[in-house]
């Protein structure tokens, strides 16, 4: 995980235990964000919650709320209590589940199921991503939550100066509570102190902060140190890349590929022209949106007109975001409908994957299914009309036909001479059927000279290493940059080629060579 020095933004979290707070003085101490305890369990609301929110907003600080979990209750009851509190305030930061307590005898699997149920309900009600607050000690006590919660942003509680490289499946923190005995002017007594790399990390994961058409205000490119910010994250989300808000070699490569695919100069930089092409073609909601991608619950959430049409078909609130509520409703629909969209008994329907592949889309919208082309019936040929001969007005003698020249008879193919030994000649061997090899059509030599293929392989290997905690993310970013520089050098000396350049690619050369050989064989 990132070192403590990565935390550039100061924050605190408070509850009624901190008493009356002078928020103007807190702001003067350099604090930029505040998390306030809202609720606990299924009925409790912190008595200073609304007062603290009002004071934080008046001071011009970013504010968020957290719920202290009581897994002895039903997750739905805890979630309802938190949701009701959130409806009463205007907040900036991601809602937080404070997960540091569980009843005796609760297993890791049960705790994970409880947390997921709570989070999905909060996200469905608010339309915002929710973050998990927990301690390393607590996660380790419950088998690292079986790494089943690592897809959520992490607010870690850890009171030592160096975090482990990973725990419970997480390899990066969004916020870090590094002490519970801090001192801040404006607050009497101890207070929890926190850090974050940037406010964008806390804000950009909220759905409300997403803008389908953000304004262009700077050209993005690969620099040293890397560019960071919400605009970088917006580009990454638009490209389908990992939205970490850092413009590194992987983002540059993704921009280059997108530009080449859209007939633009593959510079790898997001200038104003590229920005407009990326964001100014968002379609409004179209109730007849056609199938063009596989929809699923991702982080960040998929969004678009096709999601809105899906939600309308499922008869759930339409917000254009494929979140946990949409996934849950889709699973229920898949269990009860077959591939033709007909209602069936539960368990006899489609595979309840929670994703919209082509089969599910056409089951949901049968009218979108393409019609099978019909073979046209050949029309009977009509006999051509015979022209009526007309007598010429001035008949002239017909010319005598010239005698045809005798044609040389075609030589008959010579029969094969019998073998001198008296043995019968072997019959011609028939070609043996070739087994179907799905990779036979791939020119692997060309692939291994393709810059983007090699870069994709390298990026995949680095992601596997980081996801399993075998490599730190910062080191992986450096390795990715080294790979990019090495490929630049190999391109310069001609060992590696760029298929997006205006020259003829190896694939094209191979194809032309194959066509020439085919023509020679035909002749």
Catalytic residues, by residue number, are: 13, 98, 100
Give 122-166 as a 3 state SS string: HHHHHCCCCEEEEEHHHHHHCHHHHHCCCCCCEEEECCCCCCCCC
- Token pair 């994957």 in the structure block, residue: 353
235-272 burial, b at 16+ Cβ within 10 Å, e below that, comes to: bbbbbebbbbbbbbbbbbbbbbbbbbeeeeebebbbee
Count, residues in the chain? 523
Q: Are 93 and 202 in contact (CB under 8 A)?
A: yes
Using only the alpha carbons of the chain, give its radius of gyration. 34
CA dihedral sign, ordered 380, 386, 387, 388 = negative
**DSSP strand pairing (321-322 vs 302-303):** antiparallel
CA distance 212 to 305: 12
Residues 6 or more apart from 426 whose CB is under 8 A from it? Answer: none
Per the CB < 8 A criterion, the answer to whether 476 and 250 are in contact is no
Task: Characterise 84 by phi-psi region: left (phi > 0), alpha (psi -120 to 50), beta (else).
Answer: alpha
Listed as own residue / partner, the contacts of 399-402 with beta carbons closer than 8 Å and 24 or more positions apart are none
- What is the sign of the dihedral through the CA atoms of 469, 250, 243 and 62? positive
d(C-alpha 182, C-alpha 159), whole Å: 11
**Cβ atoms of 27 and 59 closer than 8 Å:** yes
Burial tier of 139 (Cβ tally within 10 Å: 0-12, 13-18, 19+): buried
Say how many C-beta atoms besides its own lie within 10 A of residue 45's C-beta.
Answer: 16
String of DSSP letters for 59-104? HT-EEEEEEE--TTS-HHHHHHHHHHHHTTS---SPPEEE-----T
CB 36 within 8 A of CB 52: yes
**CB distance 114 to 107 below 8 Å:** no
């Amino acid at each position: 995980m990132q070192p403590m020095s990565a935390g550039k933004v100061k924050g605190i979290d408070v509850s009624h235990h901190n008493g009356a707070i002078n928020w103007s003085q807190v702001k003067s101490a350099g604090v930029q964000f505040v998390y306030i305890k809202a609720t606990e369990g299924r009925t409790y609301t912190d008595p200073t919650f609304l007062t603290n929110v009002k004071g934080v907003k008046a001071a011009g600080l970013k504010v968020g709320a957290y719920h202290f979990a009581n897994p002895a209750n039903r997750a739905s009851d805890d979630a309802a209590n938190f949701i009701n509190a959130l409806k009463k305030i205007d907040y900036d930061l991601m809602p937080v589940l404070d997960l540091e307590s569980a009843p005796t005898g609760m297993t890791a699997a049960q705790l994970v199921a409880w947390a997921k149920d709570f989070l999905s309900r909060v996200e469905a009600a608010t339309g915002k991503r929710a973050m998990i607050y927990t301690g390393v000690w607590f996660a380790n006590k419950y088998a690292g939550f079986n790494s089943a919660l690592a897809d959520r942003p992490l607010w870690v509680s850890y009171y030592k100066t160096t975090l482990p490289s990973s725990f419970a499946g997480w390899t990066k923190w969004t916020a870090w509570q590094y002490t519970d005995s801090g001192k801040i002017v404006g607050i009497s007594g101890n207070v929890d102190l926190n850090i974050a790399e940037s406010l964008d990390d806390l804000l950009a994961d909220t759905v409300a902060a997403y803008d389908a058409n953000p304004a262009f205000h700077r050209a993005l490119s690969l620099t040293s140190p890397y560019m960071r910010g919400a605009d970088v994250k917006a580009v990454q989300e638009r490209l389908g890349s990992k939205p970490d808000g850092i413009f590194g070699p992987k983002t540059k490569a993704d921009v280059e590929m997108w530009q080449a695919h859209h007939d633009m100069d593959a510079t790898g930089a997001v200038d104003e022209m590229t920005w407009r092409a990326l964001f100014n073609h968002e379609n409004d909601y179209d109730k007849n949106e056609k199938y063009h991608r596989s929809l699923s619950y991702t982080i960040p959430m998929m969004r678009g007109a096709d999601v809105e049409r899906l939600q309308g078909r499922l008869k759930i609130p339409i917000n254009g975001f494929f979140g946990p509520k949409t996934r849950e409703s889709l699973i229920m629909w898949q269990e009860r409908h077959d591939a033709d969209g007909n209602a069936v008994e539960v368990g006899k329907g489609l595979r309840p994957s929670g994703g919209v592949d082509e089969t599910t889309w056409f089951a949901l919208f049968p009218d979108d299914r393409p019609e099978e082309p019909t073979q046209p019936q050949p029309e009977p040929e009509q006999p051509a009309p015979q022209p009526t001969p007309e007598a010429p007005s001035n008949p002239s003698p017909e010319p005598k036909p010239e005698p045809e020249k005798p044609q040389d008879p075609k030589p008959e193919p010579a029969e094969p001479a019998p073998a001198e030994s008296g043995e019968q000649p072997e019959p011609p061997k028939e070609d043996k059927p070739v087994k179907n090899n799905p990779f036979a059509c791939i020119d692997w030599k060309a692939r291994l000279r393709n810059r983007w293929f090699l870069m994709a392989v390298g990026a995949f290997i680095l992601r596997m290493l980081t996801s399993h905690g075998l490599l730190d993310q910062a080191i992986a970013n450096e390795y990715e940059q080294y790979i990019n520089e090495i490929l630049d050098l190999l391109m310069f000396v001609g060992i590696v080629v760029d298929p997006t350049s205006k020259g003829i690619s190896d694939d094209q050369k191979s194809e032309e060579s194959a066509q020439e050989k085919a023509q020679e064989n035909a002749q």
